[in-house]
Amino acid sequence: MAEHEVAVHAHHPPTGFIKKYIFSVDHKVIGIQYYFLAIFSVIIGLVMSVLMRLQLGWPGHQFGFLKSIFPIGAADGTISPELYLSLVTMHGTIMVFFVLTTAPQGGFGNYFLPIQIGAADMAFPVLNMLSFWTTFVALLVMIGAIFVESGVVGPIGGWTGYAPLSALGEASGQKGQTYGVVLWIISIAIFCIASLLGALNFITTMLNMRAKGMSLMRLPLSCWGWFTTAVLALLSFPVLLAGGVLLLLDHLAGTSFFIPANLFVNDKLITEHAGGSPIMWQHLFWFFGHPEVYIAILPGMGATSHILATFARKPIFGYRAMVYAIFAIGLLGFFVWGHHMFISGMDPRTGMMFSLVTLTIGVPSAIKTFNWLGTLWGARIRFTTAMLFSIGFVSLFVSGGVTGMFLGQTSLDLQLHDTYFVVGHFHMIMGVAAIFGMFAGTYYWFPKMFGRMMGEGIGKVHFWLTFIGVNAIFIPMHIMGIAGAPRRYAFHWNEVTGEGFEFLKGIVPVTKFVSYAAFFTAAVQILFFANLVWSMYKGKKASVNPWEATSLEWTVPSPPPHDNFGGHEPVVHHGPYEYSVPGAKTDFIMQTDPAIAETGG
Amino acid sequence: MGKALGLLLWIITIAAVAMFAVHKWWFPPSITEHGQLVDNQFMLTLVVVAIVFVLAQVALGFVVFQFGSSRKGDATYSHGSNKLEVTWTTITAAVFVTLGILGQQVWASLHFHEAPPNALTIEVTAQQFAWNFRYAGADDTFGKLDPLQMSDSNGNPLGLDSKDPAAKDDIVTSTITVPANRPVQLILKSKDVIHSFFVPNLRFKQDLVPGMSIRVHFTPQVVGHYELACAELCGAGHYKMKSYMDVLSADDFEKWLKDKGVGK
């Protein structure tokens, strides 16, 4: 590796503070900006989920401190139904867009894709900067949606924003649906544009900027995750953008894309609209919405594969199968959106087609799981925090994936649709599995990003408690769904007043248990945030390759110089996961190590 | 570390399986013929999924338990096995697709056949946060509706046309009453936003979409008083958009109709 120590800067880093840290075109700075935008958002989303669990566990209870935060939404300290639904909506929207779509791709992908392929930067650095700042504007507008109608926390229609509830504005008679919804739609539209710019950049970068010798089949699996995610984003976000514009026109300009004739709302006949179809919004939304699930999870799969191989000290089992499985998931992901709409009123024959394709997605998902197990089989596992979270990812991916086998069947969806079974299912896979991918990525790549190691001891405590916590929250939710508990209810049964549904009386203890588990898990995250901040300033200095890993990011200093490889162009001789090669001096061969005839690679 | 994680994975697996096995919190009893089939398909899926889930989690627990870095010997150097890839791809594809095909049967029986000719037709119209059920009355004909005459405050939430004689004997109720063992056809409509008709005991759910009339049918078999919930977010009162479905014996249903002014 001596060849890399001759650092000659090809182009000089900017010197001014603003160019260097604010409007930077350096993919590494932009990656960190995306990452912290996601950290900020996840704290908001987490606090909202804690408030929801307070309401669900103890409906109607007065919490004095809420009065001062929400003077109207919780006027007497109890969470009003409007406030509850606003929390549902904003928790979902912020988590899906500004956390799950932002950190894995915009954060880690931005930072590490160019380095892992041996490039000095993204293909379009200025476009990259614009994507981040466009995302930032989207977040500001979304926060505006929270406050614009004072006292409520923004729109109440859920993150899916089904029309006509989302299209009627003031006429809906619902708080938060006037200006709150407008800002919510505008924010999502801006976010779509940002994601499109980012996707173009990722695709071009990976196809055009690879270093000499970095053939496609030598790419780390993390790169395949980011690449496929970018393709999905490129094809799905324009559809949501178009849908958002149409919804906005319905809301503001009197068009009727999603509003049919003769609606009678709030004891008033609405005569201004005719001819629209509420189901069309669902088609547009879910054509984006289902690929979005994979946009959230594929980078996590890529990172997890990368980390599993590193700490198993073994090559990835079935590398090609892993790449093809990612493609298959991405491709099939575009033909299953209708499984969100089995009971929406669309033609039931369409449902059968969507159902079959949905179950087929289980096949590439199973291939990935088998290969992860194959990678760990016969390994010498180093149980770092990053590795623990990656193993946790595999476990959660299995737990969250198998329940899709129920929901993907039309006949079972008749009962389970829009119950807590669905809430448990998607939180398990798109929520916490994806979050575990981010945790794994953080503990693994932090040393490279910040030049210091994260606290491993506190990290491991964070893993154990979080892993137990998330299982305790989301597995019981499936049972609540089987018992018939509908989602997006401010409560199911209120023990104090005797309001609600008698058939759901029995699940009250489960609900309370889930709330306690949620408080516990949320509190545990303080360990993570503390570790993150503490390690940035006080962590042990990181060496170039603390994990003894093979890919290109571990050949450059921690943190890497402005142009990544110090004016030097790396040449790749090996596949990405040459661990424990028989006869090699160490148990890992860097991708840039000179070719050895007998190992191939 | 690996041993502890392996054990934890197994404990979580056992806890999850136990939670699904004890049936302490479970489906409310099914009261329809197709409901029994839904439950059977659910149990079949549960068994298949449980096997997949347990095998995967136990295997994951085993590899982390067994293959820690403190063990003797080197890590195996292997890039995989095409034979294994083909084997597990074929097996999972066969299992999942079979399950997918079996899962269509109940759906097909409910949605691909017209309601039988002896079915009782009831029009269901949802609105923010209430349910309206309309029976055709003695003339067996639903009267015309006029949106201009719709008024919640004047007690004509559906806008029954006062000029149409067929509308005079229509019965409008806020809970739904049906006879046992006779097919029921619902015509589902909404006045304002999307709602969803969900009686857990029926094993049935269908959205009510403004601008559409969706026809569905099923046959309740067990007399009783059941709760009806809205299952699609429709506004602040969504959680309390509650009504009841009363399933009466054939005789009691005739009596109920008579009380409502429909003599036969």
The tens digit of pLDDT for each residue in A192-245 reads: 999 999 999 999 999 999 999 999 999 999 999 999 999 999 999 999 999 999
> How far lies A74's CA from each of A71, A83, A158, A492, A497, in Å?
6, 7, 19, 19, 18
> Which residues of chain B make contact with A250, given a CB cutoff of 8 A?
none
C-alpha–C-alpha distance, residues A88 and A176, integer Å: 13
**A465 in reach of chain B (CB within 8 A):** no
How distant is the alpha carbon of residue B77 from its chain centre? 50
The residue of A285, A411, A501, A502 whose CB has the most chain B CBs within 10 angstroms, and thus the best one to mutate to test that interface, is A411
C-alpha–C-alpha distance, residues A309 and A444, integer Å: 12
- Nearest CA distance, B50 vs chain A (angstrom): 8
C-alpha–C-alpha distance, residues A86 and A176, integer Å: 8
Give the closest residue to A550 by CA, choosing from A302, A107, A298, A218: A218
**What is the per-residue pLDDT across A55-83, written as a single tens digit (0 to 9) for each?**
999 999 999 999 888 888 888 899 999 99
The band of B263, judged by pLDDT with boundaries at 50, 70 and 90, is low
CB A545 within 8 A of CB A115: no
**The pLDDT of residue A434 is above 90:** yes
**The pLDDT of residue A600 is above 50:** no
pLDDT (average), residues A539-549: 97
Residues 84-123, chain B: which have Cβ within 8 Å of A?
Answer: 84-85, 88-89, 92-93, 96-97, 99-101, 103-108, 110-112
CB A158 within 8 A of CB A181: no
- Nearest CA distance, B61 vs chain A (angstrom): 9
> Which residues of chain A make contact with B206, given a CB cutoff of 8 A?
343, 345
Give the closest residue to A415 by CA, choosing from B212, B236, B40: B40
Enumerate residues 6+ apart whose C-beta is below 8 A from A460.
A385, A388, B1
Give burial (CB, 10 Å; 0-12/13-18/19+) of A538.
Answer: exposed
Beta-sheet strand order (sheet of B214-218) = B171-173, B130-135, B120-127, B184-190, B214-218
How many Cβ contacts (< 8 angstroms) between chains A and B?
A: 345
**What is the per-residue pLDDT across A374-424, written as a single tens digit (0 to 9) for each?**
999 999 999 999 999 999 999 999 999 999 999 999 999 999 999 999 999
pLDDT (average), residues A154-163: 94
> How far lies A175's CA from each of A80, A126, A383, B237, in Å?
11, 40, 50, 12
CB B69 within 8 A of CB A381: yes
**B214 in reach of chain A (CB within 8 A):** yes
H or E segment to which residue B171 belongs: strand B171-173
The band of A148, judged by pLDDT with boundaries at 50, 70 and 90, is confident
Give burial (CB, 10 Å; 0-12/13-18/19+) of B58.
Answer: middle
Question: Around Cβ A136, how many Cβ atoms within 10 Å?
Answer: 16
User: 3-state class of B186 per DSSP?
Assistant: strand
Q: Dihedral angle at the C-alpha atoms of B247, B251, B255, B258, nearest 10 degrees?
A: 110
Token couple for A328: 């298959």
C-alpha–C-alpha distance, residues B126 and A146, integer Å: 29
Q: Which residues pair with A194 in a beta bridge?
A: none
- Tell me how long chain A is: 601
- Nearest CA distance, A359 vs chain B (angstrom): 6
CB A406 within 8 A of CB A416: yes
pLDDT at position A236 is 97
C-alpha–C-alpha distance, residues B70 and B81, integer Å: 26
**Half-sphere exposure of residue B55: CA atoms within 13 angstroms, side-chain side:** 11
**What residue ranges in A214-283 does DSSP mark as E strands?**
263-265, 268-270
Give the closest residue to A162 by CA, choosing from B237, B208, B157: B208
Give the closest residue to B201 by CA, choosing from B222, B178, B231, B184: B222
Beta B120-127 vs B130-135: how paired, if at all? Answer: antiparallel
B74, B191, B242: residue with CB nearest A264 = B191
Residues of chain A with pLDDT > 70, as a percent, come to 97
DSSP A492: S
C-alpha–C-alpha distance, residues B228 and B131, integer Å: 9
pLDDT (average), residues A469-498: 97
pLDDT (average), residues B175-195: 97
**B240 in reach of chain A (CB within 8 A):** yes
- Looking at residue A588, its amino acid is F
pLDDT at position A1 is 39
**The pLDDT of residue A450 is above 70:** yes
Residues 274-313, chain A: which have Cβ within 8 Å of B?
Answer: 276-279, 312-313
Give the closest residue to A107 by CA, choosing from A179, A37, A165: A37
**A78 in reach of chain B (CB within 8 A):** no
Q: If you compute the radius of gyration of chain A from its CA atoms, what whole number of angstroms results?
A: 24
Residues 160-189, chain B: which have Cβ within 8 Å of A?
Answer: none
Question: With a threshold of 0.90, does the pTM exceed it?
Answer: yes
C-alpha–C-alpha distance, residues A222 and A433, integer Å: 16
The band of A3, judged by pLDDT with boundaries at 50, 70 and 90, is very low
**What is the per-residue pLDDT across A499-536, written as a single tens digit (0 to 9) for each?**
999 999 999 999 999 999 999 999 999 999 999 999 99
pLDDT at position B192 is 95
CB A239 within 8 A of CB A284: yes
> Do B92 and A417 count as a contact with CB atoms less than 8 A apart?
no
CB B49 within 8 A of CB A407: no
C-alpha–C-alpha distance, residues B149 and A262, integer Å: 12
Residue that has been written with the tokens 């760990």 in this structure = A376
**A394 in reach of chain B (CB within 8 A):** yes
- Nearest CA distance, B49 vs chain A (angstrom): 6
Measured in degrees and rounded to the nearest 5, phi and psi for residue A388 equal -60, -45
Q: For residues A8 and B157, which has the higher predicted lDDT (pLDDT)?
A: B157
C-alpha–C-alpha distance, residues B143 and B156, integer Å: 13
C-alpha–C-alpha distance, residues B136 and A94, integer Å: 48
Give the closest residue to A521 by CA, choosing from A454, A456, A476: A476
**The pLDDT of residue B83 is above 90:** yes
pLDDT (average), residues A468-480: 98
Token couple for A185: 């739609």
Token couple for A49: 């989920």
> Which residues of chain B make contact with A305, given a CB cutoff of 8 A?
none
CATH topology of domain B118-259: Immunoglobulin-like (2.60.40)
The band of A597, judged by pLDDT with boundaries at 50, 70 and 90, is low
**A175 in reach of chain B (CB within 8 A):** yes
Sign of the CA dihedral A383, A388, A390, A394?
positive
Question: Around Cβ A585, how many Cβ atoms within 10 Å?
Answer: 9
Quick one: residue B142, left, alpha or beta (phi over 0 = left, psi -120 to 50 = alpha)?
A: beta
> Do A172 and B204 count as a contact with CB atoms less than 8 A apart?
no
pLDDT at position A57 is 97
> Do A81 and B231 count as a contact with CB atoms less than 8 A apart?
no
> Which residues of chain B make contact with A279, given a CB cutoff of 8 A?
209, 212
**The pLDDT of residue A475 is above 70:** yes
Residue that has been written with the tokens 């010798």 in this structure = A213
Q: Angle, nearest 10°, between helix axes A434-450 and A27-57?
A: 140
C-alpha–C-alpha distance, residues A205 and A209, integer Å: 5
C-alpha–C-alpha distance, residues A251 and A168, integer Å: 6
pLDDT at position A130 is 97
In chain B, CATH 2.60.40.420 covers 118-259
- Tell me how long chain B is: 264
The band of A8, judged by pLDDT with boundaries at 50, 70 and 90, is very low
- Nearest CA distance, A558 vs chain B (angstrom): 26
- The predicted complex's ipTM stands at 0.97
**The pLDDT of residue A9 is above 60:** no
> How far lies A447's CA from each of A390, A537, A560, B79, in Å?
17, 12, 11, 28
How distant is the alpha carbon of residue A547 from its chain centre? 26
**What is the per-residue pLDDT across B111-121, written as a single tens digit (0 to 9) for each?**
998 999 999 99
**A464 in reach of chain B (CB within 8 A):** yes
**B18 in reach of chain A (CB within 8 A):** no
C-alpha–C-alpha distance, residues A357 and A176, integer Å: 37
The band of A11, judged by pLDDT with boundaries at 50, 70 and 90, is low
Enumerate residues 6+ apart whose C-beta is below 8 A from B84.
A318, A370, A374
C-alpha–C-alpha distance, residues B188 and A255, integer Å: 26
Question: Around Cβ A539, how many Cβ atoms within 10 Å?
Answer: 18
**What is the per-residue pLDDT across B57-77, written as a single tens digit (0 to 9) for each?**
999 999 999 999 988 888 999
Q: If you compute the radius of gyration of chain B from its CA atoms, what whole number of angstroms results?
A: 26
- Looking at residue A392, its amino acid is G
pLDDT (average), residues A107-113: 98
CB B194 within 8 A of CB A162: yes
> Do A359 and B1 count as a contact with CB atoms less than 8 A apart?
no
**What is the per-residue pLDDT across A256-290, written as a single tens digit (0 to 9) for each?**
999 999 999 988 999 999 999 999 999 999 999 99
Residue that has been written with the tokens 């857990």 in this structure = B200
> Do B112 and A348 count as a contact with CB atoms less than 8 A apart?
yes
- Looking at residue B46, its amino acid is L
Q: Which residues pair with B247 in a beta bridge?
A: B178, B224
C-alpha–C-alpha distance, residues B264 and B254, integer Å: 8
Question: Around Cβ B154, how many Cβ atoms within 10 Å?
Answer: 9
A464, A486, A587: residue with CB nearest B229 = A486
Rounded to the nearest integer, the mean pLDDT of chain A is 94
The band of A601, judged by pLDDT with boundaries at 50, 70 and 90, is very low
pLDDT at position A19 is 86
